Amino acid sequence: MKSTKISFNTAVAIVIANMIGTGVFTSLGFQVLGIESGFAIIMLWVTGGIIALCGALTYGEIGAAFPNNGGEYNYLSKLYHPAVGFLSGWVSVTVGFAAPIAGASIALGKYVSKIYPNVNAVILAFVVIICITLIHSLTLRVGAAFQRVFTLVKIICIVMFVGFGLFHIPQHTVSFVADKVAWKDIFSGAFATSLIYVTYAYSGWNAAAYVAGEMEKPKRNLPRALFIGTLVVMAVYTILNYVFLYSVPISELKGVVEVGYLSANKIFGVQLGQFMSLVIAVLLISTISAMILAGPRVMQSMGKEITPLTFFAITNKNNIPFVAIIFQSVIALILVLTSSFESLINYIGFTLNLFTFLTVFSVFILRYKHKNIPRPFKIPLYPLPPILFLVVIGWILYNVMMSKPLESLFGLGTVVLGLGFYYLTTYLQKNKNANTEI
């Protein structure tokens, strides 16, 4: 029986679906708390897009050199040390996928409960996570088809939203002029802090790297899928945020999670606006689906290499790592019950940026220490893209530690806990090997 492989189009769909989700429809309300210039907000999203593209190009070179499942776990284990790879896998399991699944599910529940107040947002989030988990636990063919369809619906609906929004005549004035106030905002601490929300919205540009081992021609298709998917999302995000700012006064956006709901009501009127808000909620299903599909492949890779975690590598007759999928979704369900949306974003953004920073830096190690490894794809304009990525992400991490110390400490605590878990699994594995030899 011929095994099903992830096509180039599906890989692009996974990238787009992972990226377009909670962040772009929810984070603007937190950004305008510290930035009130329309131009600065747009530049915020352009900057985030450029950084994501630099990261995608860098991951493209590393991923083409090591085209296996696992993403950062695969790369950092080979280029740094197995402990660093384990920590990245640990963060992917606990933060990288489970937390965004919880965040997207919470946002979906909030959007629906705005329209139907009797709907319990938490119960709805639970039902969505469980249903999508069951779909992806069956076969890759069904899961991939589900992903492509919902991603296509997502793009069509966003294009419609943007199209109507650009023709809408607002009742307020908003300036997109690059004046002194705008440039002051751009070089402020609030801009750096807001970038954590933007990098969260752009997170997912590396999604295809997690399923490279199941992809058709990964050495060729992985870099292309990462770049094209990220470029599409950058264009969508910039235009979509322009529409949000154009249609809703900044004063009404401040601190609001349901930004899309407010914008839809302004553009389409209350009744049709509620329908469009419901559509936005449905679009989040694609994001949740993409993360439930990609995340468990990291755990599967860890299970194949670390004896005490072999249960993560258990697959069904269709070669689906269903145990890892269920485990990830259980963590997401716990987070839905225990976390607020804003704290989740800051926690996710800080912790994930630590490991994308390390992964992008590892391209220099790849070129220096592994010169003989074939690299089917090389970063254009090297070393500028990785250097730009590292400078901006380093700036973000510093500012977040200063402005959001609690979330930063939780992120560092997660890493330390993972390090302890690594040494525990290493100890158990050594003991098992010693007993086997006896």
Burial class (CB in 10 A: 0-12, 13-18, 19+), 341: middle
For residue 2, the model assigns a pLDDT of 47
pLDDT for 68 beyond 80 = no
A 10 A CB-CB count for 24 gives: 26
Q: Are 119 and 147 in contact (CB under 8 A)?
A: no
Residues 105-132 have pLDDT tens digits of 888 887 788 778 888 888 898 999 998 8
Mean pLDDT of 429-433: 66
Which whole-number Å values give the CA distances from 31 to 37, 100, 235, 406, 417, in the listed order?
Answer: 11, 19, 19, 19, 31
Cα distances from 203 to residues 71, 153, 219, 416, in angstroms, run 14, 20, 22, 23
For the segment 315-355, what is each residue's pLDDT rounded down to a tens digit?
887 778 888 888 888 988 888 887 666 666 667 777 878 88
The predicted model gives 65-80 an average pLDDT of: 81
Residue 50 has pLDDT above 90, yes or no: yes
Alpha-carbon distance 243 to 259, whole Å? 11
Distance CA 294, CA 327 (A): 13
> What residues form DSSP beta bridges with 215?
6
Tell me the C-alpha distance between 62 and 80, whole Å. Answer: 13
Please give the Cα distance from 2 to 139 (Å, whole number): 13
344: left (phi over 0), alpha (psi -120 to 50) or beta: alpha
What percentage of the chain exceeds 90 in pLDDT? Answer: 10
Q: Residue 370 corresponds to which tokens in the numbers above?
A: 């592994």
Quote the distance between the C-alpha of residue 407 and its chain's center. Answer: 18
More confident residue, 437 or 120: 120
Tens of pLDDT, residue by residue over 152-179, are 777 777 787 788 888 877 777 777 888 8
| Mean pLDDT, all residues of the chain | 81
At 415 the pLDDT is: 83
Return the closest-CA partner of residue 328 out of 150, 129, 139. Answer: 129
Helix H segments across 139-217?
140-166, 180-186, 189-202
User: How many helices (H) and strands (E) are present in the chain, helices listed first?
Assistant: 20, 0
CA 376 to chain centre: 26
Q: What is d(CA 93, CA 77) in angstroms, rounded to the nearest whole number?
A: 16
Q: Six-digit token pair at 38?
A: 């329309």
Q: Are 277 and 115 in contact (CB under 8 A)?
A: yes
Taking the model in full, what pTM does it have? 0.76
Residues 106, 287 contacting (CB under 8 angstroms): no
| Structural domains of the chain sorted by starting position, each given as residue range(s) with its CATH number in brackets | 8-429 (1.20.1740.10)
Tokens of 201: 């919205």
